[in-house]
Amino acid sequence: MPAGPRPTGPKAFRRRLLAPVAVSVAVALALAGCSSSSSSSSSSPSSAPPSAQSAGTGSGSGTGQTSSAPTAQPGGPNQLQDAYQRVIANVLPSVVQITTGESLGSGIVYDDKGDIVTNAHVVGTATTFTVTLANSSTPLDASLVASYPDSDLAVIRLGSPPGGLKPAVFGDSGKVQLGQITLAMGSPLGLSSSVTQGIVSATGRTVSEPQGGGSPGATIGNMVQTSAAINPGNSGGALVNLDSQVIGINTLAATEPQSNGAAAPGIGFAIPASTITSIADQLIKQGKVTNSGRAALGVVARSSFNQQFQPAGAVVVSVTPGGAAAAAGLQAGDVITKLGDTPIDSLNALTTALASLTPGSKVTVTYTRDGTSRTADVTLGTLATP
């Protein structure tokens, strides 16, 4: 599954299937991405405990027409089942299967013009695709609008959008709550229009994807962790709440490194809706991202090692003129050892720490210069885009 620095909760992720990063529980994350499996149709929500309650978010913001589903109340399995089925009826028509070469992933209809948002690692290096809608078996041609691998997001566009295309409704990421019921929709292992259920297990995760499979690897902040099953082919699909709103794009699933990459059930990650809409809007309107929304220190750095060849920080190779680090007095040769309260023992750790912060944040940087430990208060800038 992951890229860049490592997750704040989990630690290493692997990719290409898409492979995972690792988690602190000695689990590796794998991208829930592409699969060469042939597709077949299936739509079967998992059952849930009768006592489960929904914690639906408020009205969503984003593209598409607003629809609502009843909030499940504790009172028996039928009410919860009815809620699941209504959400599936509302949202599943907006989830598509994307095929590129021998790889397969998922996507979400973003607008009625035929724009579809998905993961950059699903797109890879391809520029043309075959898309199959949830309510049709007819393959449709699509082409790349633009991709932004740093946030693992991309937009493709149908060449001839059919009538009745149903854009998804995107929710408010700030209202996603721990314990909220979620449904993951996509094409795991090529099984189109599949649905699994779970809850929001955590929010605010920072996850690093592995390189490969058409992705340079990305470190993504503020991800939603879910217990809904996410498998290869689910990448780019929708993570949905009981208000029929997309709260994330399914991106990573965990695997256990000590079990030859066997699945670690109940640990999946989704890029939050706020990131999706911000990046997708820019890709559609401008063909590129001009405001990444990601914090930057304004340095080029590499991992530093002590005399015992152990990781010992991130050494600054160069400082961007006029950047955040330059304004705070950091210089080439300084070794960053802490960002705020987070210890930094490598470039990967520095990248991960920055991914959890936002532009304009003020943070204390601890570093050594000429063998002396120092600190500097830095106001972070915005990560430049290509």
Residues 168-227: tens digit of each pLDDT:
999 998 899 999 999 999 999 888 889 999 999 999 998 888 776 666 678 888 899 999
Structural contact between residues 35 and 16, judged by C-beta atoms closer than 8 angstroms: no
Structure tokens at 358: 């936002």
- d(CA 246, CA 266) in angstroms, rounded, equals 19
Structural contact between residues 264 and 32, judged by C-beta atoms closer than 8 angstroms: no
- d(CA 185, CA 304) in angstroms, rounded, equals 43
Tens place of pLDDT for every residue, the chain, 386 residues? 333 333 333 333 333 333 323 333 334 556 665 543 333 333 333 333 333 333 333 333 344 444 444 454 555 568 999 999 999 999 999 999 999 987 899 999 999 999 999 999 999 999 999 999 998 889 999 999 999 998 999 999 999 999 889 999 999 988 999 999 999 999 998 888 899 999 999 999 988 887 766 666 788 888 999 999 998 899 999 999 999 999 999 998 877 777 676 667 889 999 999 999 999 999 999 999 999 888 999 999 999 998 888 889 999 999 999 999 999 999 999 999 999 999 999 988 898 889 889 899 999 999 999 999 999 999 999 887 76
- d(CA 219, CA 221) in angstroms, rounded, equals 7
Structural contact between residues 313 and 285, judged by C-beta atoms closer than 8 angstroms: no
State pTM to two decimals: 0.74
Catalytically active residues are 121, 152, 235
Helical ranges in 295-334 per DSSP H: 324-327
